[in-house]
Structure 1
């Protein structure tokens, strides 16, 4: 009967589970800051308002920077496209040395990109092929944007309620967990916030680091619109495999422009920086608090994002933390000592 009720409740809230999950994750990540503000005399309402407003600004600011960067650098991109379209781009020498693909690839390049006006004709042809599908795409775009705006509003509203009613929510969750499995719930309760906060810290720190470092590398290598490419790389770095895809594509662009040395240098620097980040920085930030090894963090991130999307970036490492807790039952799984509440201290005294 309880299982049937849980399944029915899940079906009832199916469209809103993602909003509830994001609200819960954000509450867990920012809960220490919420407690710190209240310890300084802030009311729950004031702390909730400041934290929710800060999260809105935090998420909106990168989008505003991206929009501003696109506005500033769109003229550069337009000039580059106009130059390529006006004079054409001769086929690079390396294209003629591709095994089995050299002849068709060179013929396609000569037809579409090497002749003046070829790029413009290619873009018009591509846009013409897309026109029959454009009305259907636009008809689904509006409802999708409205639905996502609703889910975002519900997430922020739920997060605000969690800040305001946190003790009651924690009490209800503890009661449910202890009724289901008192023995395992205590470990899960300790592992979950540590894993989620470590994942958030690792992902955001690595994304910021790779966006800045590779953006500077793009500028040094002479890539077009380096600031825009750096911001896109930072967003892509949130997903495992996104950063190498970004700098590899930029290296190919430089190679296609004939800048062989900068292309090879950028790719080599990106690979070296990625090795340092993936080998030392990311596992240290994500897995150190619950003693997860490098491969466990990597497969947790990849498996989570491939199965559940972005939210799987948090679920995957947590599942790996539970797995390694089970494997290390006789070892301490946490790196921090378990705190003892004041009533327990009094009883011990």
Structure 2
């Protein structure tokens, strides 16, 4: 009995010690594993078409780098005219001054001090540049320290990114061997549940990636068009920012709310109300129908499970929690549903559909 307990506890203690030693690189390993799981069907497809495994690995790594970095260069070039327009708008407002909006004068209790501050800093010509210089001057000591801190953070993240890409390349090369080792360890540690976990994990990760990316692109395009129709400045730039923020739950409503407040501050109350109303309707449709269906469809998760899995994951683990949360919810509902859930996951095999989770 004592020997059995020590034998079962030893792997757990070793895993805790290993996680402590590799704590600064767990993120790189996790992202490499997630990207490998998401893109593994494409890697297998290239192999079936005669691509050597090293060539397929190099191609997919370069494709992922281009997918993440390429749009940034394209957007900088495409949005240069809008950024120039924003600069011209700020220069015009600085030269002529920004008149006090009518709604500010109607605010209860704070109208008088707010209007006084506005007249002193924004309404007079050159007020914006003076205000910016004052703020920058006061923050310069903090900005200098922040620049040094951010420089070290950028270098560290560059190292983590390089390690993630290197690990991803090695997983492409030796994926089947890595999976065999994981299967052996999983069968020893979780003999009753490992088979179900192994099948749920790829389905959950790929469903989450499909849902997040599709919804982010959709919301960026739809809300970008809404920004243009509402008359917001630089609608394409704001649409791109909204698309990036939409990857995180709560990012899209924050984005269109801030744009609505910007329009309200410019005196376009009707456009601001219309944009906010349309954003709320669009967000309800996306979160209620599109995102849960894309993320939860493959593992048969209900709406609230997907929602709380995303929110809980991102609030505790950051961006990587967007994948961990739905996966843990899938495990929970697998245990609650028992055989019914396992049957639903194994259904594609009985129907004759190919099993895309053979290796990863």
TM-score band, normalised by the shorter chain? over 0.9
- The residue correspondences of 1:61-72 to structure 2 (distance < 5 A) are 61-72=70-81
Residue 137 of structure 2: aligned partner? 128
Confirm or deny that 1:31 pairs with 2:25. no
- Check conservation: 1:69, 1:228, Cα contact below 8 A: no
Instruction: Name the SS of the counterpart of 2:349 in structure 1.
Output: coil
Q: What is the CA deviation profile of residues 63-87 of structure 1, one whole-angstrom value per residue up to 9, with x for unaligned ones?
A: 2133224533222111111111112
Residue 98 of structure 1: aligned partner? 107
Q: What is the CA deviation profile of residues 91-114 of structure 1, one whole-angstrom value per residue up to 9, with x for unaligned ones?
A: 222223334433333332222212
Residue 358 of structure 2: aligned partner? none
Confirm or deny that 1:313 pairs with 2:322. yes
Q: TM-score, normalised by structure 1?
A: 0.94
**1:101 & 1:296 partners in 2: Cα distance?**
43
1:151 shift after superposition: 0.7
Confirm or deny that 1:161 pairs with 2:180. no
Confirm or deny that 1:339 pairs with 2:334. no
Confirm or deny that 1:203 pairs with 2:203. no
**1:196 & 1:99 partners in 2: Cα distance?**
50
- The residue correspondences of 1:83-232 to structure 2 (distance < 5 A) are 83-232=92-241
Instruction: Name the SS of the counterpart of 2:341 in structure 1.
Output: coil
1:192 shift after superposition: 0.6
Q: What is the CA deviation profile of residues 181-209 of structure 1, one whole-angstrom value per residue up to 9, with x for unaligned ones?
A: 11111111111111100000000000000
- Check conservation: 1:69, 1:227, Cα contact below 8 A: no
Confirm or deny that 1:324 pairs with 2:333. yes
- Check conservation: 1:191, 1:322, Cα contact below 8 A: yes
- Check conservation: 2:98, 2:124, Cα contact below 8 A: yes
How many residues end up aligned between the 2 structures? 341
Output the aligned Cα RMSD: 1.6
Q: What is the CA deviation profile of residues 1-39 of structure 1, one whole-angstrom value per residue up to 9, with x for unaligned ones?
A: 222211111111111110000000000001111111111
- The residue correspondences of 1:210-289 to structure 2 (distance < 5 A) are 210-289=219-298
1:235 shift after superposition: 0.2
Q: What is the CA deviation profile of residues 128-170 of structure 1, one whole-angstrom value per residue up to 9, with x for unaligned ones?
A: 1110112211222222221111111111110011011011000
1:45 shift after superposition: 1.0
- Check conservation: 2:232, 2:263, Cα contact below 8 A: yes
Residue 46 of structure 1: aligned partner? 55
Q: TM-score, normalised by structure 2?
A: 0.91
- Check conservation: 2:333, 2:341, Cα contact below 8 A: no
Q: What is the CA deviation profile of residues 24-66 of structure 1, one whole-angstrom value per residue up to 9, with x for unaligned ones?
A: 0000001111111111111111111111111010001222133
Deviates more, 1:153-162 or 1:262-271: 262-271
Unaligned runs of 5+ in 1: 342-349
Deviates more, 1:203-212 or 1:102-111: 102-111
- Check conservation: 1:70, 1:228, Cα contact below 8 A: yes
Deviates more, 1:260-269 or 1:201-210: 260-269
Unaligned runs of 5+ in 2: 1-9, 353-360
**TM-aligned CA distance change 1:100 to 1:176, over 3 Å:** farther
Q: What is the CA deviation profile of residues 193-228 of structure 1, one whole-angstrom value per residue up to 9, with x for unaligned ones?
A: 111000000000000001111111111111111111
